[in-house]
């Protein structure tokens, strides 16, 4: 209780502006040995089959495929939940939702967030001498003590929740299509389509809103700029760093990026994949230039694709949940079917992680917390049960053993080819509008 009181007290003092400058890229402190840096990139609503290295039909992830060839690709890697907030809470705590208390998504009107008695990965590493930053989508509470700056992150730049949870002047591609922000102070919320048109989506830098409404068409560029700037300044400080990037891609609305001249790549979703891939490539290139030998880069996703968005959703690859699909349901996001939680995952660390390796070990987003803590030489918080495992033996020792499970019901790789991949043609025009109304209000 004493530690919880101290956290709340520091949060209150910080909120008054006593501890955080407007923009904090100035890090100081002595170097404590050669501890590794960590870059964790979390995609949003990206399907297992959206990674070209996983699924040959995908041609839009050149940089990610290169990372897979230069590092380790996991084909049996799972999110801790099939929706947004619970999955992100598990990434930062190493604990399942029934332990950390986040079992549903936070809304614009939510006053709470990730419980304050939970210790985040950023807080653990900060105590171990790391400088920390979070860039992108947070979605773990946006009021007072739940803000990223009060959960262990020295620097924050991003949006507080999903970018469909507030109107913008660049609505992007979505189903149902939502209008731009109303002019002036007038509200034009359409309850029938459940679009968030009465609250303009904010973009934060630390505690300050620097843009409202957000221009979605320039968001990826801004994220890339801030991420590379942080890597540059943190490296120059001589201190190890943690950078956590929560991408807006591939959640709807998809930004109106320039479509490819290739007729096969004219889909907005493919254009969004290429924009995301370019953003990740810029971050990786920056790491390669200034901190290659001592930086561990981990890429994965928060859950599977939002299948109800039809052609604006990603690919589950072979994990189509044929029985569920035949009943008229979804095998992807929001479900416990495999397409809802099996996600792409890559690990990259030149000289440490072997190149061009495909791992079949059963691993999870839950394993990132204990693995990173162990590699940083830090200690897990006491009095807590952690649901992940230290994956070092898989990453560096050639082991193919992760979590132990029963073999019953397992699907072999030989069976994959016979499974039908869900395509946009499976979504007849207008057939899902009633269903979308129900799910849209949850804005996952």
Residues 6+ apart with CB under 8 A from 42: 88, 91, 136, 244, 245, 246, 247, 300, 301, 302
Residues belonging to the active site: 84, 139
Query: Of the ranges 157-161, 187-191, 403-407, which is most confident?
Result: 157-161
Length of the chain: 444
Angle formed by the axes of helices 84-93 and 368-375, nearest 10°:
30
Sheet with 208-211, edge to edge strand ranges:
208-211, 203-205, 155-158, 131-136, 241-246, 37-43, 295-301, 345-348, 72-74, 357-359
Question: Which of 27-31, 198-202, 293-297 comes out lowest in average pLDDT?
Answer: 27-31
Structure tokens that stand for 261 in this block: 């001249």
- pLDDT confidence of 443, banded at 50, 70, 90? very low
- pLDDT mean across residues, the chain: 84
Could you read off the pLDDT of 187-218 as tens digits, one per residue? 555 544 557 777 899 999 999 999 999 999 99
pLDDT above 90 covers a percentage of the chain that reads: 68
Query: Of the ranges 222-236, 332-346, 427-441, which is most confident?
Result: 222-236
The pLDDT value recorded for residue 424 is 35
- pLDDT confidence of 173, banded at 50, 70, 90? very high
Could you read off the pLDDT of 347-403 as tens digits, one per residue? 999 999 999 999 999 999 999 999 999 999 999 999 999 999 999 999 999 999 999
The pLDDT value recorded for residue 416 is 29
pTM of the model: 0.85
Pairing state between β 203-205 and 208-211: antiparallel
Q: Which residue has the tokens 């947070």?
A: 138
The pLDDT value recorded for residue 221 is 96
Angle formed by the axes of helices 268-290 and 219-237, nearest 10°:
10
Helices (H), 16-109: 62-70, 84-93, 97-100
Q: What is the DSSP letter of 84?
A: H
Question: In the predicted model, is pLDDT for residue 103 greater than 70?
Answer: yes
Structure tokens that stand for 144 in this block: 């007072």
Q: What is the DSSP letter of 228?
A: H
Query: Of the ranges 26-35, 149-158, 405-414, which is most confident?
Result: 149-158
The pLDDT value recorded for residue 406 is 58
Could you read off the pLDDT of 49-102 as tens digits, one per residue? 999 999 999 999 999 999 999 999 999 999 999 999 999 999 999 999 999 999
Residues 6+ apart with CB under 8 A from 2: none
d(CA 343, CA 46): 7
Rounded to whole angstroms, the maximal C-alpha distance in the chain is 61
Say if CB 213 and CB 181 are below 8 A apart. yes
d(CA 184, CA 182): 7
d(CA 247, CA 244): 10
Say if CB 92 and CB 114 are below 8 A apart. yes
d(CA 275, CA 319): 25
The pLDDT value recorded for residue 321 is 82
Closest CA to 100 of 82, 128, 81: 81
Question: In the predicted model, is pLDDT for residue 316 greater than 80?
Answer: yes
Question: In the predicted model, is pLDDT for residue 306 greater than 80?
Answer: yes
Question: Which of 15-24, 240-249, 284-293, 306-315 comes out lowest in average pLDDT?
Answer: 15-24
Burial (CB count <10 Å: 0-12, 13-18, 19+), residue 354: middle
């Amino acid at each position: 209780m004493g530690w919880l009181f101290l956290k709340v007290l520091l949060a209150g003092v910080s909120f008054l502006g006593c501890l955080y400058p407007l923009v904090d890229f100035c890090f100081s402190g002595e170097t404590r040995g050669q501890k590794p840096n960590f870059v964790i990139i979390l995609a949003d609503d990206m399907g297992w089959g959206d990674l070209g290295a996983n699924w040959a039909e995908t041609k839009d992830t050149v940089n990610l495929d290169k990372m897979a060839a230069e590092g380790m690709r996991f084909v049996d890697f799972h999110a801790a939940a099939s929706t947004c907030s619970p999955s992100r809470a598990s990434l930062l705590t190493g604990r399942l939702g029934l332990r950390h208390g986040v079992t549903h998504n936070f809304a614009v009107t939510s006053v709470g967030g990730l419980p304050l008695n939970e210790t985040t990965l950023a807080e653990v590493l900060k105590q171990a001498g790391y400088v920390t930053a979070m860039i992108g989508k947070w979605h773990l509470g946006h009021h007072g003590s739940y803000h990223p700056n009060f959960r262990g992150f020295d620097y924050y730049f991003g949006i507080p929740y999903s970018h469909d949870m507030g109107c913008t002047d660049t609505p992007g591609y979505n189903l149902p299509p939502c209008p731009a922000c109303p002019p002036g102070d007038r509200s034009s919320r359409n309850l029938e389509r459940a679009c968030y048109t009465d609250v303009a989506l904010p973009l934060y830098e630390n505690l300050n809103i620097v843009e409202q409404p957000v221009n979605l068409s320039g968001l990826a560029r801004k994220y890339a700029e801030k991420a590379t700037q942080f890597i540059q300044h943190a490296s120059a400080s001589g201190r190890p760093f943690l950078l956590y990037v929560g991408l807006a891609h591939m959640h709807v609305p998809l930004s109106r990026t320039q479509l490819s001249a290739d007729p096969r790549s004219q889909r907005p979703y493919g254009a969004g994949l290429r924009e995301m891939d370019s953003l990740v490539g810029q971050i990786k290139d920056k790491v390669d230039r200034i901190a290659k030998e001592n930086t561990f880069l981990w890429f994965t996703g928060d859950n599977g694709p939002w299948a109800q968005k039809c052609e604006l959703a990603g690919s589950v690859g072979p994990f189509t949940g044929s029985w569920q699909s035949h009943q008229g349901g979804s095998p992807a996001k929001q479900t416990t079917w495999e397409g809802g939680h099996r996600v792409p995952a890559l690990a990259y660390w030149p000289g440490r992680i072997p190149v061009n390796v495909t791992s079949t070990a059963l691993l999870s987003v839950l394993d990132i917390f204990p693995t990173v803590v162990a590699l940083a030489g830090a200690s897990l918080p006491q009095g807590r049960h952690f649901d992940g495992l230290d994956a070092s033996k898989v990453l560096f020792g050639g082991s193919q053993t992760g979590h132990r499970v029963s073999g019953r019901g397992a699907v072999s790789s030989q069976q994959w080819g016979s499974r039908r991949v869900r395509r946009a043609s499976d979504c007849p025009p207008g057939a899902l509008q009633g269903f979308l109304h129900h799910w849209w209000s949850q804005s996952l």
